[in-house]
Structure 1
Amino acid sequence: MSTSLITEITQYQTVNEQEERDKALILAELTNNPQVFLRESSLAHMTASAWVVNEDKTKVLMVYHHIYNSWSWLGGHADGEEDLLKVAIKEVKEESGLKQVSPVSTNIFSLEVLTVDGHIKHGQYVSSHLHLNVTYLLEAKEKDKLVIKPDENSGVAWFPLEKAVEASTEPWFQKHVYQKLNAKLVERNKR
């Protein structure tokens, strides 16, 4: 079990009640569930997401995700990898076709516990479960070529910050995740 990730999450400064409660749940699972980095952990498993911004941090990269039928951030399952920043970068490259993606910071940008409804993936039913998610702020060049990943998404595009929130058709994500990420980005850019 990654003690460095536990330390990073423990030291992470939450910004609201959602993050405070989700942080406690993620730490409990990291401490008590030795399978949490694997999808075989059927009730909850670790994931990493990315809020990918362009060079001047005025736009966000989104994909049109098949399972959610919505524009959404990029990310995926840890699948045994405990370096979640590495997972986030790998997922962004796979889902967008981008070759160059770099962290704006190696620090955790946000924490979320996300519900995933049961769905069909690769012809098999996946039961409803939780994603214990760590989000990183990443950067890519807006002019670099984007490519869809047909088995996961049908679109990849840059959106101005507020348009990224509006593009999502998932009200919970709009209100509790994407608006929060944008607010944190704006606050960070003021420093």
Structure 2
Amino acid sequence: MTLIDDIRSYQPFNEQEEVDRQVIVRQMESDPCVFDRDSLAHMACSIWTVDPTASQTLLVYHNIYNSWSWIGGHADGERDLARVALRELQEETGVVGARLVTSCGPGGIFSLEVLTVDGHEKCGTYVGSHLHLNVTYLAVASPDEPLRVKPDENSGVRWVPLEDAIALSTEPWIRDRIYRKLIDKLALVDLALLS
């Protein structure tokens, strides 16, 4: 199956996911450049990374958003977003031994979101406001793995108790709508799948 088929088959967890799934599918059907940053609304991915007990998650201090944040990035032409998510995890945190939990949904999709990105400076260049059509994957990693920052993107990497992801975020919509949802969804995952 292709990514769009997986997204069409995905069972939304709540109203936000249902609405956003429809937006993502419409954009994928109508925009041949949806996997490239040149599109105003383009594909991106995130990876919600937890320890084997599902009591901690891995966060980075995101330089652009000035907030502790999940890990993710742009498709940049790549259509295998699960592979992109794992690559972003390694690049942004140094974690190399993570494993995707592929049983959470079609194609291993754990969550769907349309994320607004305000205009900002990156590497001295202005990037205009745009939308991320975001596919989130769930990964398990050991908190014993060495961590490192990626200075052009983040200035901190650390494991935190799940609820601290909400407390540490300075982005109200992400905190209340996305991180809360991811924590609630994680409670429904069979812990045996994480070990």
- The CA deviation string for residues 90-126 of structure 1, in whole angstroms up to 9 with x for no partner, is 0000000112111022510000000000001111110
TM-score w.r.t. length of structure 1: 0.96
Distance 2:191 2:85 in 1: 25
Partner of 1:63: 60
Distance 1:98 1:21 in 2: 33
TM-score w.r.t. length of structure 2: 0.94
Report sequence identity in percent.
Answer: 54
Q: Secondary structure at the match of 1:177?
A: helix
State the shift of 1:190 in Å: 6.9
Letter in structure 2 aligned against 1:54: D
- The CA deviation string for residues 4-55 of structure 1, in whole angstroms up to 9 with x for no partner, is 10110000000111111100000011110010101111x1110010100011
5+ long unaligned stretches in structure 2: none
Give the alignment's Cα RMSD to 1 decimal.
1.2
Partner of 2:183: 182
Which of 5-14 and 104-113 deviates more? 104-113
Letter in structure 1 aligned against 2:8: T
State the shift of 1:189 in Å: 3.4
- Pairing 1:47–2:48 present: no
Distance 1:183 1:39 in 2: 31
**4+ long deviations beyond 4 Å:** none
How many aligned positions are there? 188
Q: Is the 8 A contact 2:54 2:191 kept in 1?
A: no
5+ long unaligned stretches in structure 1: none
Which of 7-16 and 104-113 deviates more? 104-113
Structure 1 residues 190, 152: CA separation in 2 closer, same or farther (over 3 Å shift)? closer
Partner of 2:10: 12
Distance 1:169 1:92 in 2: 21
